Amino acid sequence: MDAYTDFARVYDTFMDDTPYEEWCAFLTGVLQEFHIEKELVLEIGCGTGTLTRMLSGAGYDMIGLDNSEDMLNVAMEKTETAGLGDKILYLCQDMREFELYGTVKAAISVCDSLNYLLEEEELLQTFRLVNNYLDPKGIWIFDFNTVYKYEQVIGDATIAENREECSFIWENYYHEEEQINEYDLTIFVREEGPLFRKFTETHYQRGYTLRQMKNLVEQAGMTFIRALDADTKGEVCSESERIYVIAMENGKKTV
């Protein structure tokens, strides 16, 4: 799961069209549906903390958890700049074995963070930990990219973007048998004058089906509430590329 090292420096630049405001509105709407307001919320895979800061601004006490020290360094710098340094706790931990000091009212994970777990057993381990650290009847909200998205939409595609200060080439290679998408990032960042520094990273993500995710949620001891197409917020269909799942704590199992 080693990723987002050098890329952390330019992550927010290339993600500036990410609909964080839309995500925040959706998440706060779900949390309020379950009467969760101004309470402790854990974000798993928080990255540079953009959504974490938005949820903090919406009144939630936030814990941001990520496995990339480089991403968290950016998150903490931006949190200090925003004057939220004493309101958000960041933890550099692997989601498969994270530890908290107590329970939280809700946990969230978006932007396909869970797709970095390449085995169902790793997802189950993570879901059991989430269940363990949720308050009674606490809520778990997450998204994931589907097999359809990797097979039919981005698999074996090449994406490139050129900007004044940095550019990237994103090459996808879909491994059908394992249902794993490999993408190689080549990034050029302006260092001084006309000189650019080149660096590369390789990421791996696995596509999952809603049936797999529902089974894993229930195996972890949680109650599956519902699933939504992340783009339409309507029913999941065979061409859904990203799916939201909402689940509820329903008693503890041994982790």
Q: Reduced to 3 states, what is the DSSP secondary structure of residue 48? A: coil
Output the pLDDT for position 211.
98
Q: What's the pLDDT tens digit per position in 82-128?
A: 888 788 999 999 999 999 999 999 999 999 999 999 999 999 999 99
Over pLDDT 70: what percentage of the chain?
A: 95
Average pLDDT score over the chain: 92
The confidence score (pLDDT) of residue 92 equals 97
pLDDT tens-digit series, residues 181-224? 998 989 898 888 888 888 888 999 999 999 999 999 999 999 99
- Lowest-pLDDT range, 19-33, 51-65, 190-204, 233-247? 190-204
Spatial separation of the C-alpha atoms in residues 117 and 113, rounded to whole Å: 8
Which pLDDT belongs to residue 3?
55
Question: Which whole number is the average pLDDT over 229-237?
Answer: 97
**Mean pLDDT, to the nearest integer, of 16-33?**
94
Distances (CA, A) of 154 to 34, 164, 183, 199, 233: 35, 26, 10, 22, 21
pLDDT band at 154 (very low <50, low <70, confident <90, very high): very high
* Domain covering 6-145+208-248: architecture: 3-Layer(aba) Sandwich (3.40)
Instruction: Output the CA–CA distances (angstroms, integers) from residue 204 to 10, 108, 207, 208, in the order listed.
Output: 19, 21, 10, 13
- Residue 10: what pLDDT? 72
pTM: 0.92
The answer to whether residue 136 scores a pLDDT higher than 90 is: yes
- Report domain extents, the chain: 6-145+208-248, 149-206
Range in 122-131, 184-193, 227-236, 242-251 with the lowest mean pLDDT: 184-193
Q: Which CATH number fits domain 149-206: 2.20.25.110, 3.40.50.720, 2.60.40.420, 3.30.470.10?
A: 2.20.25.110
Decide which of 243 and 8 is more confident: 243
At residue 172, φ and ψ (nearest 5 deg) are -100, 140
Strands 88-92 and 61-66: parallel
**What is the DSSP secondary-structure string of 172-225?**
EEEETTTTEEEEEEEEEEEEETTEEEEEEEEEEEE-B-HHHHHHHHHHTTPEEE
Q: What is the pLDDT of residue 6?
A: 62
3 neighbors 68 (Cβ within 8 angstroms): yes
Q: What is the mean pLDDT of residues 64-91?
A: 91
Confidence grade of residue 18 (pLDDT, cut at 50, 70, 90): confident
pLDDT of residue 87: 87
Q: Bigger pLDDT: 25 or 252?
A: 25
Residues with Cβ within 8 Å of 181's Cβ and at least 6 positions away in sequence, in order, are 150, 154, 155, 172, 173, 174, 175, 204, 205, 206, 207
